Structure 1
Amino acid sequence: MAASIDVVEFQLGEEHYALDIQIAREIVEMMPITPLPRAPRYLAGIINLRGEITNIIDLRDLLGLPGAENSENHKIVVLMPDAAGGSNVGIIVDDVHSVVSIHEDQIEQITDGITSSIGDYVKGIIKVGNENGDEMKNLIIWLDIQKVIENLSHF
């Protein structure tokens, strides 16, 4: 039997993404973010989350995706400090769907080629949906958020 992996499924625009559940500390509702002067574009600012200053990263901006038209469901996924080099970091996503348990046979690896520049940040493509081959399966892009954060300049 194939091993099972738990991921948090979230949405950016129309696309679905996932990150490892063990690096997600909590999911909080969107709250006012204090912008920082001269910060990189991807750094939306900071929040005070129960007495801890937390850096907030706009994942859309960081990944080069267009801005959101509707922001009513936005959430902040707060990462475990170990996943962010010891810093308190949260990422803005359009919506969080659920924790999904996937099997290794549902994961397709990205091969080198035209996608090689993003291959370092994508652990794989998760295929979910109907098992009767005539329906199109939904695809979830499984991001390596730890690598994305590690490659940012330090806050």
Structure 2
Amino acid sequence: MANTIDVVEFQLGAEHYALDIQIAREIVEMMPITPLPRAPHYLAGIINLRGEITNIINLKNLLGLADSRIAENQKIVVLIPEATGGANVGIIVDDVHSVIQIQDKDVEKMSDGISSNIGSFVKGIIKSGGDDAEKGRSLVIWVDILKVISSVDGHQDT
């Protein structure tokens, strides 16, 4: 039997993305974010989430995507501290759609031919919607959030 993996499907702009559900602690509604002076462009600021100061990362900025408009249904996906080196971190996404189960056969690996730095942050492309072409579902980019977050740690000057 094929391996099945649960992922959280979310949206950034018009595109659909996914991350591993086991690294998501919770999903909360957007709330006021306190900006930090001299913070990197991808760090939106901090929030007080039930007594815990949580760093909030703008995932669009971190991935180099156009941040053209503020989405109406923005959410914060709070990651488990074990995945972020013990820090409380949340990422801003435009909307969260669902938790989906994917099978190995539904994931296409990225080739290194186009750009090796893109492939290092993408676990694969999920072909959701099965074989039914009438559904018209777009492809879902499965982001390796752990690698994205670790790349942030490597670029900070402390």
**Contact 1:130–1:136 (CA under 8 A) maintained in structure 2:** no
- SS of aligned partner of 1:128: coil
Structure 2: distance between partners of 1:98 and 1:68 = 24
In structure 1, C-alpha distance between the alignment counterparts of 2:119 and 2:62, rounded to whole Å: 15
In structure 1, distance between residues paired with 2:37 and 2:135: 49
Structure 2 residue matching 1:142: 3-state secondary structure: strand
> Where does 1:1-150 land on structure 2 (aligned, <5 Å)?
1-132=1-132, 138-150=138-150
Q: TM-score, normalised by structure 2?
A: 0.93
Aligned AA (2:48) = N
**Shift of the alpha carbon at 1:116?**
1.4
> Which secondary structure does the structure 1 equivalent of 2:31 belong to?
coil
- Alpha-carbon distance change, 68 to 97 in structure 1, aligned in 2, over 3 angstroms: farther
TM-score (norm 1): 0.94
SS of residue paired to 2:91 = strand
Residue type of the alignment partner of 1:40: P
Q: Distance in 2 between matches of 1:72 and 1:3?
A: 35
Q: Equivalents in 2 of 1:134, 1:44: separation in Å? A: 39
Relative to structure 1, is the Cα distance of residues 50 and 135 closer, same or farther in structure 2, using a 3 angstrom cutoff?
closer
Q: Distance in 2 between matches of 1:13 and 1:113?
A: 26
Does structure 2 conserve the Cα–Cα contact (< 8 Å) formed by 1:130 and 1:137?
Answer: no
Q: Runs of 4+ in structure 1 displaced over 2 angstroms?
A: 132-138
- Letter of the structure 2 residue corresponding to residue 66 of structure 1: A
What secondary structure does 1:105 align onto? helix
* Change in 2 beyond 3 A, CA 1:123/1:66: same
- Which ranges in structure 1 are unaligned for 5 or more consecutive residues? none
- Identical columns (%): 67
CA displacement at 1:68 relative to structure 2: 4.1
